[in-house]
Amino acid sequence: FIRCVAGLEAPTRGRILFGDRPVVDVERGVNVPPAKRNVGMVFQNWALYPHMKVFDNIAFPLKIRKLPRHEIEKRVKEVAEALEIGHLLDRYPRQQSGGQQQRGAIARALVKAPQVLLMDEPFSNLDARLRVSAREFVKSLQRRLGITTILVTHDQHDAYALADRIMIINNGAVQQIGATDEILNNPANVFVAQFFGDPPINLVEGVGKGDHVDLGDVKLPVPAPEGKLQVGVRPTDIYIANAPLSPGDIELPRGRIKLVEYLGFTPVAVVAWEQTELRALMYSKLKEGDLARVFLRREGVKLFRDGVRVG
């Protein structure tokens, strides 16, 4: 996708517009060359030239354009200071940390003042701790510069930490486009529901009965179309507690705690009935093997048929 935006590959149909300007229009035979699209790109492996110092890596796009030396120096120093690597311009990539190399790659993409910034898995080479600070840096940078940025990632944490809008693609087909809350709370299909969300969504087979969904040993009192369904409930919408947290929450039959996982400040329990198991947030001091009161947020139930959202 981003290779088509950058002009490195040509799509077989459709249009790509930068604002009102078409850079690709297959039907009209429009395909603006990459050099004339004014796009900055940060590659997955950062693609820094190992034999060049940081200054020369950043300056490379400007040298290709044959800008005057004083203009190159001015732009490189400005972008390097903005990315807090101004003191590293005389070093080689091998003399930098992973985070510093990443900033060097971003600086090279930004130095030519692109209209669009493309980032291909920019955090994949960073460890978990550094990924968090790198996300914060990229988000604040994008807000400050106001550049339209397209970031490709397979890590949902990157997506909902950074994006204003998210597009989920499966096998080349767009599944859903929307804000983070919309994707989480109103997934268009099972693929989106399973791909997005942490802890992962509970997905079980059920039968719609009009005024409720029958899971076998558990009945959910929510409106449902008749027939076989897949029922999705995020662990954040089902919980174990001594009393309901909100007046409209539904109490399910008591279940037995099978497993407790500590994935954050609020533990997640696997609660089991005879035929059904669901992950739920745990707000009581019970332990594995105990019977628990289980509550469900009514609006958290998502119904699917043949993989498509129906309720």
Residues above pLDDT 90, as percent of the chain: 68
C-alpha–C-alpha distance, residues 49 and 67, integer Å:
20
Angle in degrees, 0-180, between the axes of helices 69-82 and 54-64, rounded to the nearest 10? 130
pLDDT of 224: 92
pLDDT digits (tens, 9 = 90+) for 126-159: 777 778 888 888 888 888 888 899 999 998 889 9
Across the range 98-119, mean pLDDT stands at: 89
Tell me the domain boundaries of the chain. Answer: 2-185, 201-309
pLDDT of 255: 94
Which residues lie below 8 Å from residue 16, measured CB to CB, with a gap of 6+? 4, 5, 22, 23, 24
The band of 84, judged by pLDDT with boundaries at 50, 70 and 90, is confident
C-alpha–C-alpha distance, residues 185 and 189, integer Å:
11
- Mean per-residue pLDDT of the chain: 91
pLDDT of 58: 95
Whether the predicted pLDDT of 201 surpasses 90: yes
**Domain spanning 201-309, CATH class:** mainly beta
Buried b or exposed e, range 68-100, using 16+ CB within 10 angstroms? eeeebeebbeebbebbebbebbeebbeebeebb
pLDDT digits (tens, 9 = 90+) for 241-276: 999 999 989 999 999 999 999 877 889 999 999 889
Across the range 14-28, mean pLDDT stands at: 94
pLDDT digits (tens, 9 = 90+) for 27-68: 999 999 998 999 999 888 878 999 999 999 999 999 998 999
Residue 133 sits at φ, ψ, to 5 deg, of -65, -35
Across the range 188-214, mean pLDDT stands at: 93
Judge: domain 2-185, CATH 3.40.50.150: no
